[in-house]
Chains A and B, each alone.
Chain A
Amino acid sequence: MIGALLYLRLHSLVNLVVHRVRRLRQPKYLVGAAVAAAYFYLVLLRRPGAVPPGAAAVPGMGGDPRIAITAICTVLCLLGLLRIAYAWISPPEKPGLRFSEAEIAFLFPAPVTRKALIHYRLASSQVAILLTAVLMAFIFNRFGYLGGHRALRAIGWWVILSTYDLHLNGTNLMLGSLRERSRHFLLWRLGGVAAIVLYVAAVLRAATGPVEALLAGLGGAQSGSERVMDQIAASPTLHWLSLPFRIVFGPYAASGPGEFAVAMVPALLLLAVHYHWVSSTEARFEEGSISLAERRAAIRAAAQRGEIPGMGEAKPRARPGPFPLASLGPPELAFLWKNLISVRSSLLNRRVLMFVLVVMAAMFMGPLVSLRTESIGVDAFMKIIGALCAMFAAYTILVGPQLARQDLRNDLPNADILKTYPIEGWRLALGELLAPTAILTAALWVELLGCAAAVDGRTLTAGVRATAVVCLALAAPLVCLLQLIVPNWIMVLMPGWYQASRSRAGGIEVFGQRLMFGVIQLFFALAVLVPAAGAAWLIIFSSQWLIGAGPAIVLAAVVVLPVLAGEAAFGLWWLGERFENFDLSSESR
C-alpha cells in the first residue's frame, strides 16, 4: 500500500515539474524564470570575494565562525522551544497531520491503514524539508563566512528540520491522545509547561557564567566570544542540558567531513526514535487533518485574493457597511462601500491590529526611552519621528499598492458580473480604486503630519509648513491613485502573468514575474513623481524670492496638481477601456 502512496507522491511531483517546465514555452513564464534565476544567482549563489565551496571559513569576517554557528543554533533552539511550549500551552483542539484536501478525499476512505497514512505523510513532508534545507544552506553560507561544505550544511539542516517536524507532530498527536483518554489532561499540560520552564531556568542559571565571561572579556586581550566558548565547553551542567540539542545540531555545526560523520550517528538515531514515536501513535488525527486542510485551503484562497496569508481570518465575518448606501447616486460609491466592507473583514482583525501596534510601539520605544532618560533632546526625538514617518510614507507610496488590493485585482474572479453592470469602464475602474486610494491616502496624511511636526520651526515658519502640508495632502490621493493604477493596468494587460485566475500560482517563474512587477511599479513611481516633484521644486525655488515661500508652494501646487489629476484621469480611462475589452477566458486557452 505504501508503494501506491509513494507512487502518488512521486508522480504528483514529476507532473508538477513537467508542467512547470512545459509552461516555460510561454514567454511570460520563461522571462519570469530567467529573472528569478538571475536573482537567486546574484543573491544566493554568487559569493563575491568569498572562498570556493568546501573551503574553510573566511578569516577576518567577524571573528570565529564557531561563535556564529553557536548563535544560529541557540536562536533556533529558542524558537523551537518556544513553539513546543506553545503546543503544550495551547494544544490544538483536534491534532492533525498535514494532508491536502484531495489527499483526504481519496486516501481517507481508501482501504489504507492509519500507519500507512502516517508513513505517507511523513515521507511527503520530506520534499518541502529537503528544499528548505538546501535553501537554508545557501542563505546561511551566503558569504562563505561560516565555512564548511554546502552539501554537508544542507544535510545538517535536513536533520534539524526533520527532527523538529517530527517532534512537533509527535507532541501534537500525543497531546491530542491525552485529551481524549486522560481525565487529567490539564495536569499533563501543566506538567509539560513546568518542565519546559524548569529546563529554561536551569539553562539560564548555567549560562550566567559564560555571559559574565563575555562581559568581562569586552576590551580584554582574549575576545569575549572565545571566553564564552571556553566556558560553555567547561560547564558540565550546560553540557548535559544542551545534549539533545547538540545531537540534533551536531551535523550542521560540524567543521569537517570527519566530525560530520561522527555527529550523524546519534543525530540519525534520535531522528529514528522520533519517527518511531510518531508513526506508532494511536491518536486520532483524521478530523484534525480535515480541519487543517480546510484552513490551509482558506489561507491559500486568501493569498490568491492578495490578502496576507495567515494574517486575515480564514472565514470572513459579516460586517455592517461603513456608511449607509442609498440606492440612487453615483455608482462609484457602491464599489467604495463594498470594498471598504472587505477591508474591514479581511485586514482589520485583532491579530493584524496587534501586529501593527507592536511594530509601531517597538519603533517608537527607542526614541521615547532616550527622551525620558534625557540622552537626547526633544528636537532630536522629533527628527527621529520625522525620519520614521518619511520612511513609512515612502513605503506607503511604493509598497502600499501591493498590499492594499481591494480593487479590480480582488474582483477579477467576478469580472463576468462586473462587466454586465451598466457603467462606463472608467467609472467602474474609479469605483474599484477608491477604497485602496482612501486607505493609502489616510496613511499618507498621518505620515505627512508626523513629518511636518518634525520640521524645525526655525527652518520653516508655521504658515509655510501648514501650506506645504495642505498642498501635499491634496496631492496624496492623486499619487496613491496613480500608483494603484499601475498594478491594475498590469493585471488587465497580462492577467496570466498576474495570476489573476482562481488557479494556484507557484514556481520560481511566478516569483520572477512578481519581482518584475515590483520593478515596474518602482519605475512608474519614478517616471510620474520625480518630474512632478522636480517641477514643483523648480517653481518654488524660482518664485519664492518674488512672492514668498507660502505663495510659491501654492503656485507649484496649482501647476502640478492638475498634471497629476490629468495623468490619473487618463490612467483610469485607459484602464476602463481595457477592462471593457478584457476576456479572462482567452487567457486559459
Chain B
Amino acid sequence: MIEVEALTKRYGSFTAVRGLSFSVRPGEVLGLVGPNGAGKTTTLRCMAGIIPPSEGRVRIAGHDLASEPVAAKRSLAFFPDEPRLFEYLTVRQHLNFVARIYGVADYEALATPLLEELELAEKSDVLPGELSRGMKQKLVIACGLLHSPRVMFFDEPLTGLDPLGIRRMKDSIVRRARSGAAIVLSSHLLHLLEEVCTNVLILKKGDKVADGTLEQVVAKFSNGEENVGLEEIFIRATGGSES
C-alpha cells in the first residue's frame, strides 16, 4: 500500500533524509520514531506529497506520487501535528469543502456520525477560533477521515487531545488498520507505539537505524537481555538525543 524506495530529501547542503526504503502493507501501523531532527516529519511530508523528494520514489495504493499525484493523493490523508484550518469556515463548512475537493457523494450522511464520534456535533456551526486546540485537532481528523482514506499519515496524533480523546484516537487508528488501512504515525510517545503499532522504523539524523516488527527491533537492541523496555531500546538505538 505504501512503498518507499531510496527516499532522500536535501535542503541545500543539508540532508534531512538519506536513502530511506520501507513498505507498509494494508492492516499495518508503522511507528516512525527518532530524536528531534531525525527526519520524521520530512519523511511524512514527502510521503504525503507535500514536498517533493530530492531522490527516490513513493508509491501510494499502487500510484507513483511523482507521476500520478492526483490518483495517489485521492487515497491518502495527512494529519499534521499542528491543526491547520481555514479560520473563516465553520466546522461543518470545513467538511462541506473537503467533501467537494475529494468528491465525497452524500457527505452529510458520513459527516454527522463522524462529528458525533469526535464530539464535534454541538460545535458544527462555530469557527476554528472558538475551538480548543484539542477540538481543532479533532476537526482535522474529521476532515481527513471523511473520504475514507486507505493510507494515513499521522504526525504526533495525540498532541492536544484529552485522555478520552487519546483513548478514542488509539482505538480509531487500530480499528482503521484492522479494516485494511495502511498507517504511518510519527510520535515521541513510546507507549503509543507499544499499544498501536505493528512495526517500527527508527530514524537518526536522516538515516534508518532499525526497521521491523516491534519484537524484531527489541530483539536487535536488547543484546540478549530480557524485559528491556521500549524506552531503553530507543535510547540504545539512537544514542538518546539528536546530538
Contact = CB atoms under 8 A, between A and B. Distances in A.
A411 B90 CA distance: 16
B51 A583 contact: yes
A316 B90 contact: no
Interface string A421-445: 1111000000000000000000000
Interface stretch (A241-249, A320-328, A476-484): A320-328
Given A338-B89, A342-B86, A589-B14, A327 B107 contact: yes
B174 interface: no
Interface string A506-518: 0000000000000
Given A321-B93, A420-B73, A327 B86 contact: no
A420 B50 contact: yes
Interface string A217-241: 0000000000000000000000000
B212 to A, nearest CB: 28
A504 to B, nearest CB: 18
Contact of B100 (A329, A411, A414): A329
Contacts of B45: 416, 585
A110 interface: no
Contacts of B103: 327-328, 331
B88 A325 contact: no
A419 B51 CA distance: 8
A580 B50 CA distance: 8
Contacts of A325: 96-97, 100
Interface string A394-434: 00000000000000000101111101111110000000000
A583 B100 CA distance: 25
B165 interface: no
A503 interface: no
A315 interface: yes
Contacts of B125: 318
A345 interface: yes
Contacts of A424: 69-70
Given A328-B105, A580-B69, A420 B86 contact: no
B129 A315 contact: yes
B48 A342 contact: no
A326 B100 contact: yes
B100 A327 contact: yes
B90 A422 contact: no
Nearest to B96: A325
Interface residues of B, number: 43
B86 A414 contact: yes
Contact of A331 (B50, B87, B88, B101): B101
B217 interface: no
Contacts of A329: 100
A334 interface: yes
B93 A316 contact: no
A419 B50 contact: yes
B111 to A, nearest CB: 10
A333 interface: yes
A497 interface: no
A99 interface: no
A341 interface: yes
Interface string B29-61: 000000000000010010011111000000000
A422 to B, nearest CB: 4
A138 interface: no
Given A581-B52, A589-B11, A416 B88 contact: no
B101 to A, nearest CB: 5
A158 interface: no
Contacts of B76: 420
B73 A414 contact: no
A419 B49 contact: yes
Contacts of A333: 100
A8 to B, nearest CB: 29
A586 B42 CA distance: 11
A413 to B, nearest CB: 7
B82 to A, nearest CB: 9
A326 B108 CA distance: 11
B127 interface: yes
A120 interface: no
A422 B71 contact: yes
B88 A321 contact: no
Contacts of B86: 338, 342, 411, 414
A586 B11 contact: yes
Contacts of B52: 580-581, 583
B58 to A, nearest CB: 13
Interface string A546-589: 00000000000000000000000000000000001101011001
A417 B144 CA distance: 10
A417 B101 contact: no
B51 to A, nearest CB: 5
Nearest to B100: A334
A141 interface: no
B73 A327 contact: no
Contact of A417 (B12, B14, B84, B99): B84
A317 B70 CA distance: 34
B99 A327 contact: yes
B116 to A, nearest CB: 19
A346 interface: yes
B208 interface: no
Contact of B51 (A338, A341, A585): A585
Given A338-B89, A589-B12, A420 B78 contact: yes
B172 to A, nearest CB: 19
Interface in B1-36: 11-12, 14
B97 A334 contact: yes
B105 A327 contact: yes
A422 B126 contact: no
A333 B14 CA distance: 40
A247 B72 CA distance: 74
A29 interface: no
Contact of B96 (A318, A321, A416, A417): A321
Nearest to B48: A420
Given A416-B50, A419-B50, A585-B51, A334 B93 contact: no
Nearest to A343: B88
A573 to B, nearest CB: 15
B104 interface: yes
Nearest to B99: A327
B73 A318 contact: no
A143 interface: no
A304 B73 CA distance: 30
B135 interface: no
A337 interface: yes
Interface of A: 315-319, 321, 325-329, 331, 333-334, 337-338, 341-342, 345-346, 411, 413-417, 419-424, 580-581, 583, 585-586, 589
For the complex of A and B, the 8 pairs showing the least CB-CB separation, nearest first, are: A334-B100, A422-B73, A342-B88, A327-B99, A422-B74, A327-B107, A583-B51, A345-B88
17 contacts: A318-B90, A325-B96, A328-B100, A331-B101, A338-B86, A338-B93, A338-B97, A341-B93, A414-B85, A417-B84, A420-B49, A422-B71, A422-B74, A580-B52, A581-B52, A589-B11, A589-B14
Given A415-B50, A422-B74, 7 more contacts: A327-B100, A331-B100, A342-B87, A414-B86, A419-B49, A421-B102, A583-B51
